[in-house]
Amino acid sequence: MCHCKLQPNLVDISNSHTEFKSKLDQLEVGDWVFLMQCPDCSQLWKVDEWDKYQQSYAVKITDKESWKKFDCTALIKEKIIENRGGLTCALCQWSDCNSKQVKGSAYCVNHLWSMGARA
């Protein structure tokens, strides 16, 4: 049974990578990503290759033609903020940055991203 409509636009599949992919049909392969499609509802997914050192995500996409170019950075940054409980009132400690810190960090989401944070 298909659950695509119930899923958010970005799904963390780090702990369920094999299970998530097993329900989809693989259409194409890119650099460390797959274009996959739900056989029931035809929803397209850009699915990260599994990596034991990094979070793996599946992202709903609408365009099969430009799926490799689809940039999910903003969605992942939103997920980082959500996972860590939001933003504080304090400013990022990065030199000359005026963005708010992510809770539990001295940095904003952009600087966490630049340092490799993906969760």
User: What pLDDT is recorded for position 51?
Assistant: 86
Burial class from Cβ neighbours inside 10 Å (0-12, 13-18, 19+) for residue 81 reads middle
User: What pLDDT is recorded for position 79?
Assistant: 95
Segments of the chain scoring below 70 in pLDDT: none
User: What pLDDT is recorded for position 34?
Assistant: 97
What is d(CA 116, CA 113) in angstroms, rounded to the nearest whole number? 5
Percent of the chain with pLDDT over 70: 100
Task: Report H helices in the chain.
Answer: 17-22, 73-83, 109-114
Q: pTM for this structure?
A: 0.88
User: What pLDDT is recorded for position 52?
Assistant: 85
